[in-house]
Structure 1
Amino acid sequence: MNRFTKCGESQTDSARVPAAPHPLTQAAGQWQRQARQIRQARAENLPVSAVRDAASGSALPASEETPPLPRPLPGDPKGHHSGWRDEERPGDGGRSGFASFRQAAQDELRAWRRPSRRQACSVPPAQEEPALSDRRLNKAIAEAGYCSRRKADELIFAGRVSVNGEVETHAGRRIGPEDSVSVDGKPISRTQQMLCLMLNKPVQVVSTAADPQGRQTVLSLVARDHPGIRLFPVGRLDYFSEGLILLTNDGRLAQRLMHPRHHLPKHYEVLVRDVVTQKALQTMRSGMCLAEGEVLLPVEVTARSTASGCTLLRMILRQGVNRQIRRMCRDLGLTILRLRRVAIGPLQLGKLAPGQCRPLEESELAALRRAVELSQGLA
């Protein structure tokens, strides 16, 4: 590149292609050229109808072929352009047809070049959302409890899913309540009872839907009492932790419960060895930084000594850091003997035995949905 070339300038200026002018600009220029030709023709006593535009070769409209000649204003005998005005024509509001078109073209061109602030800041209208009764095909199969949404995608792409008797290979197709869905030729039920269970998870149970190591999961504890319903856990508890965990097939409720914006306070009972000093308690209450660098919010904690010489800590956590209590006690030199979750928001574990589950009562479910700002009923 030439060192004298200006910044942002191409090396081959001849290769530049000028931007095409706006159509309104071309139209305004065409009418101005025609007006000049008409004035020149009248000055030379030539017929106005013979005037043609050199660029387009089209004649003026019939209503505009004979616009009146401009005349000088009083005090301007030389007839400068600044002192000329168009001859008024009866019925056109004081403007000739050419002047009206020119003014309209200028106004529209000005609006195109500089849109009004209201138009520039206006919010485009929201697109109409699909009806709540319509569902994506993969989501409908998952909500029916047949399989997960990812597995439903695989079935659809493999051509094993039919809608109204025709094979469907698009997972995003929306179906209504009147459509029938079949997998491998067998129709599936589109209606599934929404369920939310409270489980007292015992120790040495994995709080996931499946475990690659073959260990017992929370779903295996409830599968016998609720066959045919595809549940999944909301949140997690450590392998050696116990206490309250929720299982549901309501995706909206589970999403709200796990979202950081709607994080509900969780209550724990933690039995630790020996006596916990006030300095350690104050560190938890003021917020601490873990050894990995994660900064924790203040934790509400109270301590009570037991007859065996241990300390029972009651803690309330308001954030979802992985293994937060165990990592806090590790950094403070405390040994955990038992860790048990006893409450999530408005839900209390109560006297539910380890390994047992029960459906939430209507009042509990309503309070839980209010806590996560989900007022509508199960759908």
Structure 2
Amino acid sequence: MPQKNDSNTFSDTGSGSSAPIRINKALAQAGICSRRAADDLVAQGLVAVNGETVTAAGTKVVPGKDHITVQGKPIALSSPGQDEFNYVLLNKPTQVVTTVSDPQGRRTVLDVLPQNLKKNRLFPVGRLDFFSQGLLLLTNDGEMANRLTHPSWHLPKVYRVTIRGGIAEAKLNIMRKGMVLAEGERLSPVEVTIAKQQAGTVQLEMTLIQGLNRQIRRMCRDLKWTVLRLERVSQGPLSLGRLREGQARELQADELAALRKAVGLETNKK
């Protein structure tokens, strides 16, 4: 039976076992969530290996040998091949949570997907808050998700933000130079332009190269702006195009190839 050693590694005492891998990588390969989300599950005590709850992010397991459960449900550690991975582009509506389940009973991004796209344990990559909408990628490719959420591979994201009232150029320049949030976090410069002006509102287009939680809403809060609408329209090579709110579709081959190239993953296709 696999046993835990002193270095937080579960290993098989028999011969012919696979090499141990980190628990977050194992969960990502199984299509449960991204590596970052897996670390959160472990930290919350929701993951058990061979019946023992683990809380150390560095815990290692042996695929095909160790028995893993997440919230009591057994997880198969077999990793799908690239051809079995799925990539779905969703135009997330407002008042939908970017999770696969919600204890408060609110609609999740999986609830929005049509039945034909609900397959192979899709999970959202990154987040859009409850009242925001727009482009969201869902996949069961843990390595892709890890690249897209890791700071070293962060792809530019473009948002259209509708603000009540007028906009002073001086405040736009604060964003462009890199502002400091009220919580003390220093931001990288944000590319921002006025896309449209109507009576009583201004639509801004912002390009972010960071992934701070609720960054746009917090910037606007500190600049005393009221956000009426926040929509993500592109991420790296991916764009909403004509995909309407609430609609979803699988990525096309050229989109997937461009995305894999953008995060440094070589395609196996010739």
What are the residue-to-residue correspondences of 1:166-245 with 2, within 5 Å? Answer: 172-175=61-64, 191=80, 193-222=84-113, 224-245=115-136
Over 3 Å counting, the alpha-carbon distance change for 1:134 and 1:279 in structure 2 is same
Amino acid at match of 2:112: L
**Does structure 2 retain, via aligned residues, the 8 Å contact 1:201–1:244?**
yes
Amino acid at match of 1:349: L
Deviation of 1:288 after TM superposition, in Å, equals 0.7
Deviation of 1:210 after TM superposition, in Å, equals 1.6
Q: Structure 1-normalised TM-score?
A: 0.53
Over 3 Å counting, the alpha-carbon distance change for 1:253 and 1:278 in structure 2 is same
- Whole-Å Cα distance in 2 between the matches of residues 145 and 290 of structure 1? 35
Residue by residue over 1:301-358, the C-alpha shift from the partner in whole angstroms, topping out at 9 and shown as x without a partner, is 0014423231110000000111111111111111111000000001111111111111
Amino acid at match of 1:204: Q
What are the residue-to-residue correspondences of 1:123-162 with 2, within 5 Å? Answer: 143=29, 154=48, 156-157=50-51
Amino acid at match of 1:353: R
- Whole-Å Cα distance in 2 between the matches of residues 203 and 227 of structure 1? 20
- Whole-Å Cα distance in 2 between the matches of residues 188 and 232 of structure 1? 16
Amino acid at match of 1:172: V
Indicate the residue corresponding to 2:69 in structure 1: none
- Whole-Å Cα distance in 2 between the matches of residues 288 and 145 of structure 1? 37
Deviation of 1:222 after TM superposition, in Å, equals 2.1
Indicate the residue corresponding to 2:161 in structure 1: 270
The 3-state SS of whatever aligns with 1:208 is coil
Deviation of 1:225 after TM superposition, in Å, equals 2.1
Amino acid at match of 2:151: P
> Tell me, which stretches of 5 or more residues in structure 1 are unaligned?
1-132, 159-170, 177-183
- Whole-Å Cα distance in 2 between the matches of residues 285 and 190 of structure 1? 43
Judging by fraction of residues, say which structure has more strand: 2
Indicate the residue corresponding to 2:149 in structure 1: 258
- Whole-Å Cα distance in 1 between the matches of residues 147 and 98 of structure 2? 19
**How many residues are treated as equivalent by the alignment?**
225
The 3-state SS of whatever aligns with 2:116 is coil
Judging by fraction of residues, say which structure has more helix: 1
Deviation of 1:274 after TM superposition, in Å, equals 1.2
Q: Which protein, 1 or 2, shows the higher relative CO under an 8 Å CA cutoff with sep ≥ 6?
A: 2
Indicate the residue corresponding to 1:375 in structure 2: 266
Over 3 Å counting, the alpha-carbon distance change for 1:237 and 1:202 in structure 2 is same
Amino acid at match of 1:173: V
What are the residue-to-residue correspondences of 1:45-84 with 2, within 5 Å? Answer: none
Deviation of 1:226 after TM superposition, in Å, equals 2.9
Amino acid at match of 2:51: F
The 3-state SS of whatever aligns with 1:252 is helix
**Does structure 2 retain, via aligned residues, the 8 Å contact 1:197–1:247?**
yes
Over 3 Å counting, the alpha-carbon distance change for 1:195 and 1:304 in structure 2 is closer
Indicate the residue corresponding to 2:177 in structure 1: 286
> Tell me, which stretches of 5 or more residues in structure 2 are unaligned?
1-17, 53-59, 66-72
- Whole-Å Cα distance in 2 between the matches of residues 292 and 142 of structure 1? 32
**Does structure 2 retain, via aligned residues, the 8 Å contact 1:134–1:175?**
no
**Does structure 2 retain, via aligned residues, the 8 Å contact 1:194–1:249?**
yes
Residue by residue over 1:19-49, the C-alpha shift from the partner in whole angstroms, topping out at 9 and shown as x without a partner, is xxxxxxxxxxxxxxxxxxxxxxxxxxxxxxx
**Does structure 2 retain, via aligned residues, the 8 Å contact 1:286–1:298?**
yes
**Does structure 2 retain, via aligned residues, the 8 Å contact 1:141–1:190?**
no
The 3-state SS of whatever aligns with 1:215 is coil
Residue by residue over 1:141-181, the C-alpha shift from the partner in whole angstroms, topping out at 9 and shown as x without a partner, is 875669998799648439xxxxxxxxxxxx833449xxxxx
**Does structure 2 retain, via aligned residues, the 8 Å contact 1:272–1:312?**
yes
- Whole-Å Cα distance in 1 between the matches of residues 102 and 226 of structure 2? 28
Indicate the residue corresponding to 1:320 in structure 2: 211
Task: Please point out which of 337, 340, 353 is paired with 2:244.
Answer: 353
Q: What is the root-mean-square deviation of aligned Cα atoms in Å?
A: 3.2
What are the residue-to-residue correspondences of 1:327-366 with 2, within 5 Å? Answer: 327-366=218-257
Q: Structure 2-normalised TM-score?
A: 0.73
